[in-house]
Structure 1
Amino acid sequence: MTAATPLVPAVVVVHGALGSARQMAPVVEALRALRQFADVVPMELPGHGETALATGQPFDMIVLADALGEAIARAGITRPLVFGYSMGGYVALVRELRAPGTIGGVVTLGTMLHWTPAIAARAAARLDANLIREKVPAFAATLAERHQGAGGWDTVLAHTARLLRQLGDAPVLTDETLALIHCPVHLLVGDRDDSVSLEETAHAASRLPHARASLLADTPHPIEKVDVGLIAREVRDLAQRLSTGG
């Protein structure tokens, strides 16, 4: 690589709540198909999928964010661009808040950045294993298969509900802390997302020093229903701005 050749960053892909690295495989494949990145690395948060929590390790946002930093270090990459879906976007921003300069840029999709006790209580109430078994057994089966290596899906649900309540009581990202995150950030939200609104997303973007928010047409919240080619192009666009200093 010559000095005149712009650096194309590596991309780390982080799943959302109740997700796993394997769930994000279509996004990873779409990014790799662009052939524009030094590497595309899927990352699985501890307590999800096939990645168990270490003995005595709490399931909280700081642990998850620090695990992202450790994954970046293990991969031997410097200041990657991170694509974080839903909770994965929150994790990425918290990591950059805690260790400025770790991440070169962040693209999020469907990330809830405004938490209150009431919002958290409503979200946590939906994570009842017995209710999910009764109302959406196919989803229950999917979660059971997905989280076999993390102590079982009911454990993941309980941990996640507790994490959401923690965020409601003491959110890590606030108007004040968002202002301390200086890497470029692009916050994406779908026009059919019933979990996150453009208004909330635009508010968060207004507090970040180098951020913008965009609405994606015909896009719901579940990653399985998202056009991954569109996501890959959005990540590529931010990568190009990073590589040219734009």
Structure 2
Amino acid sequence: MQNLLLLHGALGSEATLFPLKEQLQPYFHTYTLGFSGHGGKAIPAAPFGMDMFAQDILNLLDEQQLESTYLFGYSMGGYAALCFARQHPDRVKGIFTLATKFDWSPETAAKETRLLNPAKIQEKVPQFAQTLASRHAPQNWKEVMQKTAEMMHHLGAQPPLSAETLAEVTVPVQVGVGDRDNMVSVEETTWAYRQLPQARLLVLPNTPHPLEKVATEKLSQEIRQFCS
């Protein structure tokens, strides 16, 4: 069986990928990864960023003695997967991204980070605040959110994935987005697909952004087809 590593999104944890992992385990040697500072891992003093998350991927592959693997990245996880493939193409067999934001500028970063206000979240959506508190315990979810916002501002100022750098990702890539995603547009996803040398485009019908609202069985089938 092929190796497959699942990567979570911003403010997520590897536990958010367990339902998908369960679907895929009969077909792959399936692994999940919690990025630094997420899911209860110690929050590093250094800023969150793609170099840090790419190093997390490399560390896991080395720890598990995986020479190469397929990568599935949800949202931010897809961005990290592509950045990792630029640095270590020999360790990647292919990448499947879903709901990954490619349109980063100071304006889009400002728009995205307006939603990352811990005080407002606690006041207006306390259930989500409790979910984040449980997900990142014993660490402080508010600090995870603050460092995520800082990372987004950095992505807006200096996005590491441009037309030029995406063209350097030579492994096969399937770029996926839901047609009802209110955070990632079909247009920006199509733009990324057109920059990648070996890419396919997938638009999932009736699919919003949150991973828990994606049809897991359908997503599993698409991943299996891509990796075959």
Same fold by TM-score greater than 0.5: yes
Of 146, 164, 169 in structure 1, the residue corresponding to residue 135 of structure 2 is 146
Say whether 1:99 aligns with 2:92: no
> Following TM superposition, by how much is the alpha carbon of 1:53 offset from its aligned partner in structure 2, in angstroms?
3.5
Query: For the pair shown, which has the larger CA radius of gyration, 1 or 2?
Result: 1
Q: CA deviation at 1:203?
A: 0.8
> Is residue 2:67 matched to residue 1:74?
no
1:63 paired to 2:52 = yes
Is there any run of 5+ residues in structure 1 with no aligned partner, and where? Answer: 1-7, 241-246
Per-residue CA deviations over 1:186-218 (Å, capped at 9, x if unaligned) read 011001110111111011011000011111011
Query: Cα deviation per residue 1:35-59 (whole Å; 9 max; x = unaligned)?
Result: 222x1001100010122234x4432
Aligned to 2:227: 239
**Cα displacement string for residues 101-143 of structure 1 (whole angstroms, at most 9, x for unaligned residues):** 2211000110001200000011111100001011111000000
Is 2:24 the counterpart of 1:36? no
| Partner Cα distance (1:51, 1:102) in 2 | 25
Percent identity of paired positions between Structure 1 and Structure 2: 39
Deviation, 1:147, is 0.6
Give the AA of the match of 1:194. Answer: N
| Equivalences, count | 228
* 8 A Cα contact 1:114 1:174, kept in partner: no
Return the alpha-carbon distance in structure 2 between the equivalents of residues 76 and 233 of structure 1. Answer: 27
- 1:73 CA displacement: 1.5
* 1:109 is the counterpart of 2:102: no
Q: What SS does structure 2 have at the residue aligned with 1:19? A: coil
Cα root mean square deviation, aligned: 1.1
Deviation at 1:70, TM superposition (A): 1.1
Aligned residue in 2 for 1:19: 12
What TM-score, normalized by structure 2, do the two folds share?
A: 0.97
The runs of 4+ residues in structure 1 deviating greater than 3 Å are none
Q: Equivalent residue for 2:151?
A: 163
Unaligned runs of 5+ in 2: none
Q: Shift in Å at residue 98 of structure 1?
A: 1.6
